[in-house]
Structure 1
Amino acid sequence: MTTKSVSSRRGLMLVMSSPSGAGKTTLSRRLLESDSSVVMSVSATTREPRPGEENGKDYFFVTHERFREMIDHGELLEHAVVFENRYGTPRGPVMQALNEGKDVLFDIDWQGTQQLAESAGDDLVRVFILPPSVAELENRLRKRAQDPENVVQKRMAEAESEISHWAEYDYVLVNDDLEDTFERLQVIIKAERERRRRRPGLSEFVRKLMDERPKNK
């Protein structure tokens, strides 16, 4: 058995959730830029494409009828309704990536994560990102200078509900320092990649090792 077949592995589904402003988007972007084994999950949606968006790259744009068919046929790992439009994660591309040893990163909330946990099994790794304090979370939202005051207040109100689901995740990182948090995230991913269940070639390798034992005369 070659070293490559021993080290080959099944990919993992990585979910990172957080209240807005805690740092999830920045951490996700850095992870995708620094690790070629990590790919972003592409969602299906019933909303119309925005200028510059590409089908199959940004989203899979489908009709409401097609989306209902995807639900009925079990083609979605999770799905939700957001502002009268439907969003969901197609099963096929994710399974293909996992089988190729790629790790799939998901941009979904705690509700989507709960659904994914029911269908993903051992493939799922859940990481929740917390801010160091409520005051710092509000400060970060204001520093972005992207949202009007009413939106900032709405995001702060939503944060309490989102944070209340922290215990449903496998790992919880307090993002008080971005560099340190990113390093800890990388450690989690490296350890999860080495789990026995993700290394299908390991059993055969061990069997051959055992067969190489000197035989008693």
Structure 2
Amino acid sequence: MLKHFIFILIGPSGSGKTVVANNVFSNYKKVISHTTRAKRPKEENGIDYYFDSEKRFKQLMNQQAFAEYDCYHGNWYGTIFKDIVLKTNQHNAYAILTYSGFKNLSDRLGDKVIPVFFDVSKENVRIRLNYREKDQTIIQKRISTYEKEYANKQYLIKYPHIILLNANQPIKMVIKELKQKISFYR
């Protein structure tokens, strides 16, 4: 069904997924997810996410437009099926999803869906979140889900094509490692 691969970046909040993706993949390869969460400073609609109202998101759900969707930290996230097909018909693509989102895509689309797990310590997540976010309530909320998000590694390592990244090293090294590992998927 898919001509090329789609890399699904998975890992705890604050693991570096977005920064690494922005440095490894060009924007035209990104499968942009829809979300009901509020836009962060410097984010742009249609570039970072499609920021939808809950009503609009539910309409897309009812139309069965999503290849996968999930509720994360009280907000909905979803990826439109036709966007995945369009992007992967042109070249390899990527998306940042939860484990659940990856599993749904993998079950539906098979071996062309490649999981990329950001293996990072809770302490490094805390440091990165403190750098990015000043609201301690938000930081604590994201840290509180670390164990659950990190536990997904035990399921992901069963996939034959998994890419495990050492996300405890400096981000420049994570970027270099991912570039090297995806070079085999041309």
- The percent identity for this pair of structures is 23
Q: Say how many residue pairs are matched.
A: 176
Contact kept, 8 Å, 2:38 with 2:51, in 1: the verdict is no
- Aligned partner of 1:89 in structure 2 is 79
1:187 CA drift (Å): 1.7
Following TM superposition, the consecutive aligned residue runs of length 4 or more in structure 1 with deviations greater than 6 angstroms are 46-52
- Cα 1:53–1:171, aligned 2, differ >3 Å: closer, same or farther? closer
Query: Alpha-carbon deviations, 1:47-97, whole Å to 9, x = none?
Result: 7999985469842857356324322xxx32101235776432111121122
Gaps of 5+ in 2: 157-161
The DSSP-based 3-state class of the residue aligned with 2:115 is strand
- Aligned partner of 2:159 in structure 1 is none
- Cα 1:24–1:70, aligned 2, differ >3 Å: closer, same or farther? same
- Aligned partner of 1:143 in structure 2 is 131
- Aligned partner of 2:165 in structure 1 is 173
Q: What is the rounded CA distance, in whole Å, between the counterparts of 1:137 and 1:83 in structure 2?
A: 16
1:164 and 2:151 are equivalent in the alignment:
yes
Contact kept, 8 Å, 1:46 with 1:67, in 2: the verdict is no
- Aligned partner of 1:59 in structure 2 is 50
TM-score of the two chains, using structure 1 as the length reference: 0.68
Query: Alpha-carbon deviations, 1:102-142, whole Å to 9, x = none?
Result: 222112111111111111212101011122x3323222222
Q: What is the rounded CA distance, in whole Å, between the counterparts of 2:14 and 2:40 in structure 1?
A: 24
- Aligned partner of 1:127 in structure 2 is 116
- Aligned partner of 1:184 in structure 2 is 177
| RMSD, aligned α-carbons | 3.1
Q: What is the rounded CA distance, in whole Å, between the counterparts of 2:71 and 2:124 in structure 1?
A: 30
TM-score of the two chains, using structure 2 as the length reference: 0.77
- Cα 1:103–1:136, aligned 2, differ >3 Å: closer, same or farther? same
Name which of 33, 44, 49 aligns with 1:43: 33
Gaps of 5+ in 1: 1-8, 194-217
AA matched with 1:155? R
1:11 and 2:11 are equivalent in the alignment:
no
Q: What is the rounded CA distance, in whole Å, between the counterparts of 1:57 and 1:159 in structure 2?
A: 23
